[in-house]
């Protein structure tokens, strides 16, 4: 696919000036950002709604070592030029994690259902990638001319008596330079709390911070040093299916 866009449009998504995500990441290695700090221009409302509806089209992740069918996803990769913020979609959408990073599902190249064409060209997604990138510490992001952006659309389902596992690998660290998670929606579920275990060589024995994302776009940003997990989700009413939809964006410098 050709270059997505060579310029940044005026109607980009923005964050409240009350927040300084970049310095918070440099200091604490992560930043929690409740939804009310995001400012969405009305001109992007249609592409935003179209983007959200994409979670209804995700496909079962066939690479689950526990043979679970509770995780659905799509995945794709963009390259971002840090000087112009132009985006180029990459056709290779394989994803690799080492066994050290992911002892459950790592150790080999995984191929997932690719992003839909409507998602690849979605202006809301493009604006979001740019905004998130600009929110990261520029003292780090400016060192590399281009960055690889992994786009993960993920749905975790739970059924009565069968919880869904957002992080089946348990407490772990990601291997990407930076990762951002945006909550898309929760439906008929309990739990699904984000647990943070510090940035030391080994995780703390108990979570140092616990946060439940509840509203559209409750988000957090973190670097590769942070130990974290998400607790299992359960059907809230004990009768019907529940689910948790999230968008993960990972940022890796192209060397």
Count of domains observed in the chain:
1
The DSSP result for 27-46, as a single string, is HHSEEEE-GGGEE--GGGHH
User: Picking from 41-45, 130-134, 164-168, 246-250, which range would have the lowest pLDDT averaged per residue?
Assistant: 41-45
Per-residue pLDDT at 10: 40
In terms of residues, how long is the chain? 255
Q: Which domain holds residue 239?
A: 3-253
Mean pLDDT of the chain: 89
- The pLDDT confidence band at residue 252, using thresholds 50, 70 and 90, is very high
Beta strand segments in the chain, E: 3-5, 14-15, 30-33, 38-39, 59-60, 71-81, 87-90, 94-96, 109-111, 146-158, 178-187, 189-191, 194-196, 209-211, 219-223, 228-230, 233-235, 242-253
Please say whether the beta carbons of 190 and 214 come within 8 A: no
Q: What is the dihedral of CA 45, 46, 48, 54, to 10 degrees?
A: 160
Q: What percent of the chain has pLDDT over 90?
A: 74
CATH number of the domain that residue 199 is part of? 2.60.120.620
Quote the tokens at residue 217. Answer: 């776009």
Average pLDDT over residues 62-89: 92
Q: At residue 139, does pLDDT exceed 90? A: yes
């Amino acid at each position: 696919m050709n270059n997505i866009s060579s310029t940044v449009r005026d109607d980009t998504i923005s964050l409240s000036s009350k927040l300084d995500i970049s310095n918070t990441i440099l200091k604490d290695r992560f930043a929690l950002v409740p939804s009310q700090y995001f400012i969405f221009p009305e001109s992007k409302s249609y592409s935003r709604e179209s983007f959200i509806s994409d979670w209804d089209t995700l496909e079962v992740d066939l690479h689950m070592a526990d043979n679970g069918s509770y995780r659905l996803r799509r995945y794709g990769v963009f390259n971002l030029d840090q000087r112009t913020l132009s985006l180029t979609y990459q056709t290779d959408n394989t994803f690799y994690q080492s066994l050290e990073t992911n002892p459950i599902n790592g150790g080999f190249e995984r191929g997932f259902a690719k992003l839909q064409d409507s998602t690849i060209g979605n202006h809301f997604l493009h604006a979001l990638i740019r905004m998130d990138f600009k929110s990261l510490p520029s003292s780090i992001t400016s060192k590399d001319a281009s960055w690889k952006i992994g786009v993960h659309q993920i749905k975790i389902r739970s059924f009565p008596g069968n919880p869904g596992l957002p992080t089946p690998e348990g407490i772990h660290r990601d291997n990407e330079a930076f990762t951002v998670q945006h909550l898309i929606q929760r439906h008929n579920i309990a739990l699904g709390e984000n647990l943070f275990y510090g940035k030391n060589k080994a995780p703390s024995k108990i979570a140092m911070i616990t946060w439940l994302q509840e509203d559209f776009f409750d988000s957090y940003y973190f670097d590769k040093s942070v130990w974290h997990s998400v607790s299992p989700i359960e059907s809230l009413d004990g009768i019907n299916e529940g689910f948790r939809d999230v968008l993960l964006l990972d940022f890796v410098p192209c060397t």
